C-alpha cells in the first residue's frame, strides 16, 4: 500500500490508524506550502515543507512548545487555525505594548503583547516594573502565563501550570519576597491582565497546545487498570476526537472550504496581513482489489506564518481498509491522466483431461484428426 501517483505538486503520505473499535483505516494526508502575495493571494511555493511524522518543538521538547504537530491524526472534527509568528511593532518603531489580532469568519481573537517586565519591590509591596520597549516578540507560549515553580524548600509548595507548563509567571511558592526579580509574561489576554503575582490568568497565544496540556488532555480518554487489562492496545472507549485538535479552542472553526480570508494585525511590518485560504480540489482515488473509491479530503489544518509570508494547509481523508490491508493496492492523489484501457487478455481455456482438449480442438478446427 503506497501512494503510486501524486500530481498536485504538494507533499502526500499515508499511514494506517485504528479507531477505538479496532477498525483499521488508511489515513491519507496532502500538505501544501503556499507563498503569500502582496495582495493576500496564495500560490504553491517552489519549496514544499515536508510532512511531519513526529511533533517538532521550538527547542527542547521538555521545555518548549510545539511548532509543528505530527500531520497524521486520523481525523479532526473542526479546522485548526494556528499562527506561528511574531508581534511586530508597526514600521519597526519601538513600543512598550501592542495589540495583536487574528480574524477569520466569526473568529476574532486579540492578545496584548507587553515588553519585558519583572516583579520589583515598591512602596506598597511587590509590583510589576515598567515594560521595556521592543520591536519584535515571538508569539510563543514560552512568553505567556504558565511554567513551573520548585523554588520553595518545602515540596508541598511545588507545582506546574498544566494549561501551559513551558510559560512564565506561575507561582506556587507562597512567599511574596521570592518573586522579586522574576519575569512576567509578555503575552496576555486583554480582558484578564495580571495585576498581582498571585494571579493565574488563562495562557494567551495563537500557536498549538501540547498534547498533555489542559484542557486538551481531558479529551484523551481514560487509561486506567481496566484499559490496561481489557482494552489495550486499542484507544480508550471514551476518547474524544477533539483530542486531535491542537489549536486553542477559540481558534477551532467549522471545516474550511477554501477562499476564506484570514486577517492578522501587528504580525508584520505592514501592520495588516490579509491572506486568502487556498481553494483547490485534491481528488484522491483508492484502488482496492475489487473496486475503486473516490475520496474528497477535508481541509482541517491551516498554519499561518506571517513573518515568513507563507501558509501551510493540510487536507485529510481516512478510508476503512477492511479485514486485509492488502486489499488496498494503491492510492493516487490529484487529477490523473486518462490512459486507453488495455485490450482484454485472451481468456486461455482450461481442460480437465487430454480428451477434453481434443474435443475442443475439433470444434474450433473442423476436420482436424481426419485422414
Which residues, in sequence order, are CB contacts of 100 under 8 Å at separation 6+? Answer: 87, 110, 111, 112, 113, 139, 264, 265, 266, 267
pLDDT at 321: 84
Domain boundaries, the chain: 1-84+209-259+270-371, 86-205
Q: Cell digits for 315?
A: 487536507
pLDDT digit string (tens) for the chain, length 371 residues: 678 899 999 999 999 888 888 888 889 999 999 999 999 999 999 999 999 999 999 999 999 999 999 999 989 999 999 999 999 999 889 999 999 999 999 999 999 999 999 999 988 889 999 999 999 999 999 999 999 999 999 999 999 999 999 999 999 999 998 999 999 999 999 999 999 999 999 999 999 999 999 999 999 999 999 999 989 888 999 999 999 999 999 999 999 999 999 999 999 998 999 999 999 989 999 888 878 889 999 999 999 999 999 999 999 999 988 776 677 888 999 988 765 544 444 456 666 677 777 777 777 665 554 54
Buried b (16+ CB within 10 A) or exposed e, 241-274: ebbbbbbbeebbbeebeeebebebbbbbeeeebe
Q: What is the rounded CA–CA span in Å between residue 207 and residue 14?
A: 25
CB-count burial class (<10 Å; 0-12, 13-18, 19+) for 325? exposed
**pTM of the full structure:** 0.87
Count the residues in the chain: 371
> 129, 107, 105: which is closest to 117 by C-alpha?
129
Amino acid at each position: 500500500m503506497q501512494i503510486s501517483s501524486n500530481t498536485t505538486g504538494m507533499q502526500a503520505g499515508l499511514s494506517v490508524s485504528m479507531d477505538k473499535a479496532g477498525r483499521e483505516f488508511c489515513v491519507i494526508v496532502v500538505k501544501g506550502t503556499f507563498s503569500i502575495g502582496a495582495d493576500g493571494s496564495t500560490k504553491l511555493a517552489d519549496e514544499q515543507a515536508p510532512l511531519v511524522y513526529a511533533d517538532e518543538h521550538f527547542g527542547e521538547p521538555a521545555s518548549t512548545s510545539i511548532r509543528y504537530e505530527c500531520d497524521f491524526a486520523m481525523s479532526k472534527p473542526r479546522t485548526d487555525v494556528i499562527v506561528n509568528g511574531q508581534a511586530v511593532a508597526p514600521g519597526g518603531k519601538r513600543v512598550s505594548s501592542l495589540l495583536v489580532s487574528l480574524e477569520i469568519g466569526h473568529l476574532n481573537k486579540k492578545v496584548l503583547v507587553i515588553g519585558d517586565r519583572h516583579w520589583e519591590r515598591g512602596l506598597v509591596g511587590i509590583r510589576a516594573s515598567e515594560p521595556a520597549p521592543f520591536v519584535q516578540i515571538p508569539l510563543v507560549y514560552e512568553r505567556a502565563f504558565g511554567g513551573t515553580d520548585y523554588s520553595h524548600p518545602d515540596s508541598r509548595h511545588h507545582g506546574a501550570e498544566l494549561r501551559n507548563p513551558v510559560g512564565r509567571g506561575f507561582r506556587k511558592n507562597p512567599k511574596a519576597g521570592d518573586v522579586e526579580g522574576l519575569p512576567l509574561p509578555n503575552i496576555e489576554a486583554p480582558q484578564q491582565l495580571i495585576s498581582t503575582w498571585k494571579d493565574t490568568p488563562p495562557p494567551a497565544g495563537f500557536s498549538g497546545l501540547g498534547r498533555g496540556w489542559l484542557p486538551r488532555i481531558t479529551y484523551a480518554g481514560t487509561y486506567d487498570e481496566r484499559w490496561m487489562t481489557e482494552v489495550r492496545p486499542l484507544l480508550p472507549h471514551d476518547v474524544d476526537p477533539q483530542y486531535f485538535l491542537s489549536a486553542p479552542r477559540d481558534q477551532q472553526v467549522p471545516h474550511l472550504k477554501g477562499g476564506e480570508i484570514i486577517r492578522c494585525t501587528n504580525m508584520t511590518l505592514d501592520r495588516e496581513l490579509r491572506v486568502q485560504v487556498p481553494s483547490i480540489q485534491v481528488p484522491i482515488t483508492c484502488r482496492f482489489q475489487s473496486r475503486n473509491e473516490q475520496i474528497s479530503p477535508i481541509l482541517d489544518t491551516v498554519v499561518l506564518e506571517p513573518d515568513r509570508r507563507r501558509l501551510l494547509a493540510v487536507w485529510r481523508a481516512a478510508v476503512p481498509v477492511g479485514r486485509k490491508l492488502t486489499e488496498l493496492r494503491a492510492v493516487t492523489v490529484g487529477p490523473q491522466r486518462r490512459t486507453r484501457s488495455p485490450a482484454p487478455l485472451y481468456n486461455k481455456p482450461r481442460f480437465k483431461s487430454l480428451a477434453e482438449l481434443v474435443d475442443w480442438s475439433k470444434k474450433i478446427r473442423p476436420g482436424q484428426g481426419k485422414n
